[in-house]
Structure 1
Amino acid sequence: MTEFVATTPGLYPLPDWAKSDLSDLKGHQKHDLISGDESGDIVAAYEEARAEVVGDQLDAGLDRIVEGQLRWDDMLAHPLTVHENVETGGIVRYYDNNNFYRDPQVVGELTFSGDVAEELNAAADHLDGEPLQGVLPGPYSLSELASDEHYGDDADFLDAVSEFLAAEVDAFPDHETLYLLEPSLVTDAPDDDIAERVPDAIDAVADATDADVVVHTYWEAFDEKTYAHLMDADVDAIGFDFVEADREQTLYNINEYGTKESISLGLVDGQNTLVEGAETVRERAEWVLDQVQMSTFDTTYLTTNTEPFYLPVNKHKEKLAALAEAADVETEVEA
């Protein structure tokens, strides 16, 4: 029997009040933001917003609580855009949608930052003992979102990014799970040489924590070679998009090459305002598990397929509640 766990991949929409307040504050603090320094007013606004989104998750009854990544204006590129040895270039389209980020240009060694750990420590103060979940870009996606102007070789750059992320994770407070978000593995699959190195890069990050590690992907399905290589990574679960991606291809990969002892299912649309009911979410989970030729999963994570950043706050909260309710249904499914 599998345990259902309701969670999300982080990167939440800002509360409505924070959008206007932070826009005004950042307009007056533009020079400080470019240099990486945030004023006390901006820090305070983010702290209030962080407490609110943590509270929303607690109220909804999620099983894993994320910090929310409200400061991540550059989306998954954020851990690099705030680094002292990274310069931000021009505006670049974020994957294939209407969001944009500043191109992080790595011009020096990727030394320890601690930025994400500070956020998680702040979130942990609001948890009331509930389990924390860390969220980071996976090493391949982060390397693909950046421009390397220092290391000079794709393989060396991937290694450097993975070592950087591992050091960040090592500074995290206690956390139950770690989600590594790797959409680039499916939208821009690595060539054979890099694909062979991806498992080691992910392992370097996973080895830095005792938490359960989930490599979560979205928007498309894996090609066979990339998935087969990823299966060599020593992680607890791989995540699949069952909203946007080719379900037939996804199920073929799982049944042909196997998957990990736990699984993450992206069942709720993180980009569409239509709210799925808890019954619908649970039915989708049961349908997927019925199609998978494995005896059982230790844990089945129920989540949005993508970051919910794109949603209006009210719809986002409703989807959190649906995920939590779907995971709490007493009847367990034999996968």
Structure 2
Amino acid sequence: MAAGAPRAAVVALRRRRRGRVATLAGVGAMLALACVLSVSLGTRSVGWADIGAGLLGRTDTMAQAVVAVRVPRTLLACLAGAALGLAGAVMQGITRNPLADPGILGVNAGAAMAVVIGIAWFGMATLSAFIWTAILGAGAAACFVYVIGSLGPGGATPLKMALAGAATTIATSSFTVAILLPRNDIAGGVRSWQVGGVGGAAFDAMLPCLPVLAAGLVLCLMSARGLNLLAMGDDAAAGLGAGIARTRALAALGAVLLCGATTAICGPIGFVGLVVPHLCRLLVGVDHRWLLPFSALTGAILLILSDVAGRIVARPSEMDVGIVTAFLGAPVFIWIVRRRRVRDL
């Protein structure tokens, strides 16, 4: 009996691993399907022949030109969704807060305010400057929210973190509006960017973001084992030899890089980082070694499909993807709060 127990555990582990691999294959197929839908559907639907010609760079017809425009848009939605989904999973792991999300914790709003300050006060105009300014703003907002949420008895509880993030978001958004009010020369473009969207994407604009996104991805994935230990509590993690401060700093830096670069090019898109990790936990469990890559893939799928939905619902116009994700994410946020019944927040 005792000898059979380890063997049964090994069999169960292999079975779970095979299930996760099968789920990974399914998610990969869904991502490919979402990309096809993104290229083919919208205010104007196109056929397979036009898709093939557009992918080869031909723009002889209107449909082929539409495909050529949608390809970089689809790639940007894929990158941004993966970054936000991964950042949300990391933030929830760092804080052990199921309500953690770059939008809810004020990180996106801080990045947006920093970019607006750079444009309005310092004449910032290059994408590289936008990226690094957004990263600084995101980092400052994350640190501020964590410090404020840690004050008082109980430390950084989920409720205090959510309240600090909401207050920070409101304050930074109000300050951003105050900056834009007297600046009619930049207000129109900035307000459109603040909604959050992937329209007008271009390969040249995405290139400066790729190294930053890659660095954020590597840092987050490197933190997977440490996040697993943090999930057991700081004392237990320290007892198992985890460097708590180092793990949190490394993971937080990765998440800030992802959020800052995404906000710089797409604007502040909310709720992707909230919805995706909860969905992925239902699929693969709480092991961050699996949760993080699945969150990246699922975030890409969610944002691509949200962009497609925004094109279809608002025909012949378009609805920005930031509005669609807000419609999707707000009910999930309410469900999470009601499920916990605010019992230990």
**TM-score, normalised with respect to structure 1:** 0.28
The structure with the largest strand share of the pair is 1
The structure with the largest helix share of the pair is 2
More contact order relative to length (CA 8 Å, sep ≥ 6): 2
**TM-score, normalised with respect to structure 2:** 0.27
